[in-house]
Structure 1
Amino acid sequence: MLNVSQRSMPQKKSRKKLILKWLVGLCLAGVLGIISFILSVQWGFWEPLPSPQQLADIRQSEATEIYADGGELMGKYFIFDRQPVAYEELPQHLINALIATEDARFYEHNGVDNRSLMRVVFKSILMGDESAGGGSTISQQLIKNLYPRKNHGVFSMPVAKTREAILAKRMEDIYTKEEIITLYLNTVPFGDNTFGAESAAEKFFSKQAHELSLEESAVIVGMLKASNSYNPRLYPDRSKTRRNVVLAQMEKYGYLSHEETDIAQGRPLKLSYTPFNHDTGIAPYFRSSLQQKLEEWLEEYNQENNTELDLFTSGLKVETTINLEMQQMAEEAMGAHMKALQKDFEASYGARAPWLRSNEILQDALKKTPYYKKLQKKGLSSAQIQDSLNTKRQMELWDWDGTKVVKASTVDSVQHYLKFLNAGMLSVEPGSGAIRAWVGGINFKHFQYDHVMQAKRQVGSTFKPIVYAAALENGVGPCDYFSARPVTYANYDDWTPTNSGNIDSEKDYAVKAALANSINTVAVKVLEEAEIPNIIDLAHRMGIESVIPPVPSIALGSAELSVEELSKAYTAFLNNGRPSEPYFIKRIIDKSGKVLAEFEPEKAAEPVFSESTRQLMVEMMKEVVENGTATRLRWKYGLKNDIAGKTGTTQNNKDGWFVALTPRLVTVSWVGSDDHRIGFRTTAMGQGANSALPMYAIYQQKMNQQSDLYRYTAARFPPASTSVQNRLDCDEEKQPGFLQRIFVNEDKPQISKLKLDSAILADSKKIEPEKKEGLFKKIGNIFKRKKKNNE
């Protein structure tokens, strides 16, 4: 008879077999499940996989690069800041740092590192050890960068990892290891919306990738673990620690000796951060205008050539006329002058400043804010809106000392920014029209209105040279004398122009002296001799396209023009009487190196005035600097350059202007408030000689210190002809004649009725500028004609 233990033995064996069968079955089911899952990913059940052909033809969006005249990178247009480089342009220590840190067996596997994968499975997943790492190879990370992961619920990570492993192996069959490294370092994100090693090198170290040092390469590779957490701009200490980890990894895998690692780890972290965005960086106003022109050009080019080029993704290269060194100096000069002028401007008003009172100016500014419009759209009452506008909260406010976070209301913010004076400055080569420097305002982030191309302001006495040139062409001589006495123009609402400064109204002044000293009463009398239609016609032939009103006040600059328009007009005085069209784009090149377009402006066929008039005007404007309203260029700023020029101040000191002519450069500067109702408190502060001239003077001082700008700073005006010199040989002023002193009442203004052809007054279109194609359109047409000729 069997005992219990003997009877239970077959049962135990049977149970073991059953368990074993279940385990084998589970394993087989698991294996089949895994295989099925892998096949489901491979067959695109979860999402389509890129085909081998698509992998072989990887196209990534590339930023359009903007280059200065000397070839320096000065900005980009991008969605993702990415610029590709070839493998040969990548420094070896950058490649070594990448492999040592991210994929030590990169040259040994075929896209998936099985040892790393098993380590991750057992240590990370089963044992919960987060130090085991991610296990993804460079090839897998590249796939992740190229084809971002999608959400599949709880299956998201398994699907993503499987998909990346499959595609990584496919990629290794298509590309060499060097090509994979190149693709990876051209696409990987590095923080601050920067993609690729080249863009990262430019942004964080202001150099190209091939120029990176060992430590800089380690910083860049260190960001791969967490681009924000190890961003050297945001967290320099954390970035340095991570850099040293990368260097230690390089030593561990034999890329550095212990001594090299010690030296590199001991060096400080040094950045040279150069952001490429619309609000900051060099020449933001210029880049904004350039963007608009390029978008217009691309729209036309794509239509004509059946292409799909995009400014932000097609990797174009745009060569401009901007001189980077001059641009930097112009911006520095503007900042230095405007910071000091702003302080004086605010002090002059004190507590009675127009922006501090709840008046029409403030209310108008508040109504223009997006916040006010949003509240109004919600249907809030005026009282509710005002209450919200007065609610204080944390906000950033900018001034010339920097950006501060303060507790302020919308009203506080509007009042704060209303007080700022703004500025514009443009430098143009008169012979070619090439724009070398463009300052559109004081701070693009907070004041995006461009004061070079967009803004039109009354130009004051800077219009007088056009009046005087027309008068010379109409027979007036530089030594003709005019009384400085005020005249009332009865048929123009009894308008009576007056003079500022120490002008003796009892004297007669030569035309040349009247211009040098900006005598208003004489300027209007010269206008009478030149005749208004002739002046307006000359202004338009000099390149001014804005409508100029047929009124005598244009002699004092009542016409509203842009800085760019005035610059163009003045080029005629230095370019043999021919105005040069200002332009700023030289070439547009696609990412393959093909030149899509070359630009050069049309040249004026005929001079707009005679050579003798041109020489006389230059000599007379030189006197403005030597003995007239711009003498502070000499005695205050010590400038010894050959300079001619003209100051300008508008009514109630709203605008200050200065135009500087040197033999190879025309520079126009303007200063004023964006709100036309806010002017300088005094003429002494607001006159162009004080408000606008110093900006140019500082700029010229900076240029004089640079030997490579010698062609601009050392240039000399050619001597005037003997006949021109003879015509200028006279006294600047004289006492009126005996009969005039007896019969003219000096205390009473003279009454005059300025003659103007009634037909011209009736039909103002006769003195409006001829409608012309814009500069960009004209340049585009030039390119078209060149293309046809080549065909």
Structure 2
Amino acid sequence: MAKAVKKPASSTGKKGKPSYFKFIKWFWILFGIGVFSVALLFSSASWGWLGPLPSYEALENPQTNLASQIISSDDELLGKFYLDDNRTDVPYDSLPQNLVDALVASEDVRFYKHSGIDWFGTLRALSYLGSRGGGSTITQQLASQIYVGSKSRKPIQRILQKAKEYVISVQLERRYTKEEIIKMYLNIYDFGNNADGIRSASRIYFGKEPKQLKIEESAMLVGMLQNSSLFNPLRRLERTQRKRNLVIGQLAKYNYITPKEKDSLQALEIDLNYNPESHRDGLATYFRMYTQRFMNGWIAKNPKPALEGERDKWNLYLDGLKIYTTIDSRMQANAEEAVDMHMRKLQAEFFHQNTPDRNKTAPFLDLEKGDINKIMEQAVKTSDRWRQMKKEGKSEEQIRKSFKVKREMSVFDWTSETREKDTIMTPMDSIRYYKSFLRTGMMSMEPQTGHVKAWVGGVDYKHFQYDNVRQGSRQAGSTFKPFVYAAAIDQLRLSPCDTLPDILYCIEAGKHGNMEAWCPENSSDKFSGKAYTLKNGLANSKNSITAQLIDRVGPKSVVSIAKNAGISRDMLEVPAIALGVPEVNVYEMVGAYGMFANQGVYVKPVMVTRIEDKNGTVLYEYVPETKDVLSKEVSYAMIDLLQGVTKGGSGTRLRTVGVNKWKPEYDEIITGYPYKFTNPIAGKTGTTQNNSDGWFMGMVPNLVTGVWVGGDNRSIHFKTITYGQGAAMALPIWGIYMKKNYENKDLGISDGDFPKPSGMSINLDCDKIIEDAKKNADPEDDLDISF
């Protein structure tokens, strides 16, 4: 019987088709499902099924938080107002080409060829699982930054985010040019350390505008785009430098630079010029805080013409307002340097006089223990610690106990380069420590326009936030006397050459509203009995002369002139105001003295001239406020009187070289008063009782500057007038400031004569008057005129 032979397995199916066909069929089925799924994913994203997409309006006007800018009169950025985002938009034409090249070479080399999605880069990223770089384009990164949000770590959620990112990227490419996309991306990115956007980053890390960035600097910032925390040059400098060098390598790879340039640039160390931008650091800090108060008031009165869905109020920290000010950044820097130079030395002398062996109640003088306790108690109850603990619901016993517990803290210190030192002390001790520092306020203004050019409210805003220009008010001392003299010249038609005797002069009780007889003493010497011209009486601050003048014109007329000149404080209409009893601030005094320099016309000081929105639309423009106070003749006569102060009175040290006042043990020596000005200067010093306040008001034809120096309390002062007078405490700041101003010819500070009105009828030639008086005098008369 024949044996059956087994046939080999067939390579075809039931109908003769190859068996591998089913694999092909399933491949295409799965491929189709995949394509359909991807298409459905992107369609769902575009239809908003995966979450809301930005509207067309939002795509046309992407909303980002923009810091408001404070801009100086010489077009420098003084500071910004922001909460979380310190961002300022920069137009594309203000970006350096090397920055754009570094961005494209490093992040998206086919940027100018794709329409939002680089499919080649996407496939490469998928094939190598991201080991050879990601597939996101610059447009996708922008879409993620503005509309998608932070990356999710959940795979499914990340896929959905990626789909939205792709759809938004394509829409962005349809609505914006490539240049606009680059601009938006660099403006939106957070570079860390409050450096939101490329402008903040270039200013904070390199101290310059974006247009000034070098290739290696641009490469570092582009390298930070991958992860600004990971590549933070302040914390991870070596890692940041390696990343920067990779970007430089990409520039060479795509022929933006030569291999030789690449090698030389990669060999460079990162040269940071770190300039932190915060509300407590930088130039014009006190002025910036004034501007904040000004803007808050303006915003409250000016509603925002908002579109649907927008805020109906302007937001100083989010809306990117541009605040144009009168401050000149160069003069502001000069003012701050002058304050620093003088106050550092003056404080050293104050500490020297208030060591425990010299003053057991330091820094207070002439106070009993009970009075000191009252001052300290007031300081405790107005402190931030007291307010914060009260807010937290702590009992008064708990709060007081906390003031006696030692703790680590950083306190102000003149001797440190950073002006800070770390120490351990109780909060109560820190209050007394801060009381020992002298304070100052300084303001400089153009009298013809009222434009404030410099504003220094204290020695260090971080530690002393009270603004002594606008917030503080102290007795004016002899700087108030010119209003008395102005009233006398205006009403009585007196001349600076008229004379009055330097004798004890009393105003009886009941006259001019005073309750008791008033017989003021001279501040520095006895009554000489000589006849003093008004000019010399003011120059030497003779109280006896001032008392006679206010008796003749009455306090009411003096108060009227002072108020018309911008001093708004309430003033009692009593004779004692002649010696500067009224409390005033630096802001008001500078405005009032500006009236003398501006031919009798008061111009209200102005700090903010214009406000614009982020698009450049003008929202506010300043309108000058002026008032005629004195005639040109009277105001010029006052200028002539005040020039006498710097020619032969208490301000003479501006023109001479005096003796050395600073001792070698204070590390630095100034020989005398190294100003030696020869140009016309009108001014007035002021010193209040017990040397509690030192003032100097100084004027040249186009600049009026006022300086005040004193303690936090009137009981904190120098023992003697040697250091406690205005000529020693305040005048040197004016002198240093003006020397610096004159060194910069571009500032245009006048060194010529004050303009003299034509047809002057008030006689100012005192030499001729005195000479004629001597010729006509009886030889037996004892004619003694001091001039």
| TM-score computed with the length of structure 1 as normaliser | 0.83
State the distance in 2 between where 1:24 and 1:699 align: 83
- 1:449 pairs with 458, 466, 479, which one? 466
Distance in 1 (CA, whole Å) between partners of 2:450 and 2:404 is 49
Offset, 1:42: 4.1
Aligned pair in 2 of structure 1 residues 138, 412: CA closer, same or farther (>3 Å)? farther
Q: How big is the shift at 1:688?
A: 0.7
Which residue is 1:253 aligned to?
254
- What is the CA-CA distance between 1:581 and the residue it aligns to? 1.5
State the number of aligned residues: 726
Corresponding residue for residue 725 of structure 2 = 687
**Residues in 2 aligned to 1:621 and 1:407: alpha-carbon distance in whole angstroms:** 50
CA distance 1:361–1:94, shift in 2 (3 Å): same
Which residue pairs with 1:787 in the alignment? none
Which residue of 2 is the match for residue 336 of structure 1?
A: 341
* Displacement after TM superposition at 1:419 (Å): 2.0
Q: By how many angstroms is 1:222 displaced?
A: 2.0
Q: 105-114 or 330-339, which moves further after superposition?
A: 105-114
- Match among 98, 107, 110 for residue 112 of structure 2: 107
| CA apart distance, 1:368 | 1.8
Give TM-score scaled by structure 2 length: 0.83
How big is the shift at 1:671? 1.0
1:239–1:505 Cα change, 3 Å = farther
Give 1:91's match in structure 2, choosing from 71, 92, 96: 96
Counterpart position of 1:74: 78
1:616 maps to 2:637: yes
Indicate conservation of the 8 Å contact 2:439/2:710, yes or no: yes
Could you report, residue by residue, the CA deviation over 1:431-485 in whole angstroms, capped at 9, with x for unpaired residues? Answer: 2212111112222222222222222211111000001111222325542213332
Q: Is the counterpart of residue 519 in structure 1 residue 524 in structure 2?
A: no
Mean Cα deviation higher: 242-251 or 102-111: 102-111
Check whether the contact 2:207–2:273 (CA below 8 A) recurs between aligned residues: yes
* 2:462 match: secondary structure: coil
The match for 2:651 among 620, 630, 648 is 630
Deviations along 1:137-167, whole A, 9 cap, x unmatched? 2111101111252687834433322321222
2:353 paired residue among 348, 351, 357:
348
Counterpart residue number, 2:436: 419
Q: 1:162 to 1:597 in 2, by over 3 A?
A: same
Unpaired segments ≥5 residues, structure 2: 13-18, 657-672, 783-787
- The one-character-per-residue Cα deviations of 1:480-500 (angstroms, maximum 9, x if unpaired) are 213332648655456553223
> Which shifted more, 543-552 or 390-399?
390-399
Is contact 2:144–2:150 with CA below 8 Å preserved after alignment?
no
Q: Does 1:435 align with 2:447?
A: no
Deviation at 1:517, TM superposition (A): 0.8
Return closer, same or farther for 1:304/1:88 CA change in 2, 3 Å cut-off. closer
Query: What's the secondary structure of 1:451's corresponding residue?
Result: coil
Q: 1:470 aligns with which of 484, 487, 490?
A: 487
Residue type of the alignment partner of 1:648: G
Aligned to 2:278: 277
Q: Is the aligned partner of 1:62 residue 2:83?
A: no
The offset of 1:560, in angstroms, is 1.0
Residue aligning to 1:225: 226
2:478 to 456, 461, 464: 461
Q: Distance in 1 between matches of 2:306 and 2:229?
A: 42
Tell me if structure 2 keeps the 8 A contact 1:431–1:575.
yes
What's the offset of the Cα at 1:34?
Answer: 6.1
- Measured in 1, the distance between the counterparts of 2:480 and 2:192 equals 51
User: Percent identity over the alignment?
Assistant: 38
Change (3 A) 1:133 1:362: farther
The aligned residue for residue 754 of structure 2 is 717
Q: Partner amino acid for 1:714?
A: D
**Contact 1:486–1:505, Cα closer than 8 Å, also in 2:** no
**Is the CA contact 2:505–2:548 (under 8 Å) kept in the aligned structure 1?**
no
Task: Please state how far the C-alpha of 1:328 moved relative to its aligned partner.
Answer: 1.0
Provide, for residues 20-49 of structure 1, a one-character-per-residue CA deviation record: whole Å limited to 9, x for no partner: 999999888777766665555444344211
Correspondence for 1:754: none
1:696 corresponds to: 734
CA deviation after TM superposition for structure 1 residue 662, in Å: 1.0
Q: Distance in 2 between matches of 1:234 and 1:481?
A: 72
* Alignment of structure 1 residues 264-663 onto 2, 5 Å: 264-302=265-303, 309-351=314-356, 352-354=360-362, 359-376=373-390, 380=394, 383-400=397-414, 401=416, 402-475=419-492, 476-478=494-496, 479-485=498-504, 487=506, 490=509, 492-493=515-516, 496-604=519-627, 606=628, 608-635=629-656, 636=673, 637-663=675-701
Task: Give the direction of change, closer, same or farther, for the CA distance of 1:471–1:590 in structure 2 (3 Å limit).
Answer: same
Q: Is contact 1:583–1:600 with CA below 8 Å preserved after alignment?
A: no
Kept after mapping to 1: 8 A contact 2:441/2:708: yes
Q: Which residue of 1 aligns with 2:242?
A: 241
Question: What is the SS of the residue equivalent to 1:163?
Answer: helix
| Separation (CA, whole Å) in 2 of partners of 1:719 and 1:172 | 67
Alignment partners' CA distance in 2, 1:670 and 1:220: 45
Q: How does 1:93-242 map to 2 (within 5 A)?
A: 93-121=98-126, 123-124=128-129, 131-149=131-149, 154=154, 155-233=156-234, 235-242=236-243
SS of the aligned residue for 2:727 comes to helix
Residue pair 2:637, 2:762 contacting (<8 A) in 1 also: no
SS of 2:601's partner is: coil
CA distance in 2, matches of 1:431, 1:719: 15
Q: Give CA-to-partner distance per residue, 1:143-193, whole Å, 9 cap, x none.
A: 111125268783443332232122223323333333322221222222233
Secondary structure at 2:410 match in 1: strand
